[in-house]
Structure 1
Amino acid sequence: MPKGYVIARAKVTNATQWAAYAAKAGEAMKIYGGTPIVRGGQMTVAEGEGRARNVVIEFKDFDAAKAYANSPEYAEARKLREGAGEIDIVVVEGM
Structure 2
Amino acid sequence: MATAFVLAATGHAQAQNATPAPAPTVQPHGYMVISYDIKDQAMFQKYMDAAGSLAANYNGKVTIFNMKVKGAEGKPRSVFGMVEFPNLADAQRFYNSPEYTAARKFRIAATKGTSTVILTEGLPQ
- The two structures have a TM-score, normalised by structure 1, of 0.90
* C-alpha distance 61-42 of structure 1, shift in aligned 2 (>3 A): same
Partner of 2:88: 62
Partner of 2:34: 8
Percent of aligned pairs sharing the same letter:
28
**Using the alignment, how far apart are the partners of 1:42 and 1:81 within structure 2?**
17
Shift in Å, 1:85:
0.7
Q: Report the structure number with the largest CA radius of gyration.
A: 2
* C-alpha distance 82-8 of structure 1, shift in aligned 2 (>3 A): closer
Alignment of 1:1-80 (within 5 A): 1-80=27-106
Give the number of the structure whose residues are more often helix, by fraction: 2
**Using the alignment, how far apart are the partners of 1:90 and 1:26 within structure 2?**
18
| Pairs aligned (count) | 95
Structure 1: where are the runs of 5+ without partners? Answer: none
SS at match of 2:37: strand
Across the aligned residues of Structure 1 and Structure 2, the Cα RMSD in angstroms comes to 1.4
Structure 2: where are the runs of 5+ without partners? Answer: 1-26
**Using the alignment, how far apart are the partners of 2:70 and 2:63 within structure 1?**
17
Deviations 1:19-65 (A, max 9, x none): 11022112321211111111115432112230110000000111101
Q: Which amino acid aligns with 1:94?
A: G
SS at match of 1:65: helix
